[in-house]
Chain A
Amino acid sequence: DTAVSQTPKYLVTQMGNDKSIKCEQNLGHDTMYWYKQDSKKFLKIMFSYNNKELIINETVPNRFSPKSPDKAHLNLHINSLELGDSAVYFCASVIRDGGFNEQFFGPGTRLTVL
């Protein structure tokens, strides 16, 4: 159950603060993602990294900055938090072997901005 892990699980903070969420996968996968799930449960892709290189940036505000120190880690830093940033953030990873493969999701981080 710890194949993809995220910390923290819950994050409550004030508007204007800067916070980070960490993600680690021990599956040996090449590609990692960040998704945002809002209160209506809509899962929206934010970023994707392949072997530490950014490959997808889905018009996310530049207050969000992903960082991948190595292919097992993809962290998300958020500056100047806003109320609308409140959501559950899921990290996911997938192996890229030329085929289609299951995305493995982390347990999610529930961010609440007050």
Chain B
Amino acid sequence: GENVEQHPSTLSVQEGDSAVIKCTYSDSASNYFPWYKQELGKRPQLIIDIRSNVGEKKDQRIAVTLNKTAKHFSLHITETQPEDSAVYFCAAERMGNFNKFYFGSGTKLNVKP
């Protein structure tokens, strides 16, 4: 099965700095990589995703990059703000008859004002 590893487990940055969270996956057949943000006491929500036929995708201050050869993908948040503080989860999914979906272990991001 798929194994998704995520680093770091915690990340503390100063407001305005950039934050980078990295994930690796083991199943080369995985072809969809979403990122979810979970604020304290709330449900995970999708913030950005990337498909395996794309190397990079950007949405305002967040971007995701994918290296299929190395089987790793990263989330980049620029100009961080206190409201970016949350737990971020990467995930990998393989399209098939019934998609299988696996989360990384999460990164707790703390943006200090």
What is the 8 Å Cβ interface bit string for chain A, positions 95-114, against chain B (1 contact, 0 not)?
01001101101111000000
What is the 8 Å Cβ interface bit string for chain B, positions 51-94, against chain A (1 contact, 0 not)?
10000000000000000000000000000000000010100010
A108 with B43: CB separation less than 8 A: yes
B98 with A48: CB separation less than 8 A: yes
Q: Which residues of A contact B (CB under 8 A)?
A: 31, 33, 35, 40-45, 48, 50, 55-56, 90, 96, 99-100, 102-103, 105-108
Q: Which residues of B contact A (CB under 8 A)?
A: 31-32, 34, 36, 38, 42-46, 49, 51, 87, 89, 93, 95, 98-103, 105-106, 108
Determine the residue in chain B with the shortest Cβ distance to A42.
B105
Chain A residues whose CB sits within 8 angstroms of the CB of B34 once the complex forms = 100, 102-103
A–B complex contacts, Cβ < 8 Å, 12 sampled: A35-B103, A41-B105, A41-B108, A42-B103, A44-B103, A48-B98, A99-B95, A100-B31, A100-B93, A100-B99, A102-B49, A107-B43
* A50: contacting residue among B32, B49, B98, CB under 8 A: B98
Chain A residues whose CB sits within 8 angstroms of the CB of B45 once the complex forms = 105
A105 with B101: CB separation less than 8 A: no
Chain A residues whose CB sits within 8 angstroms of the CB of B102 once the complex forms = 45
Q: A41-B87, A43-B103, A100-B93 are in contact. Are A56 and B46 (CB under 8 A)?
A: no
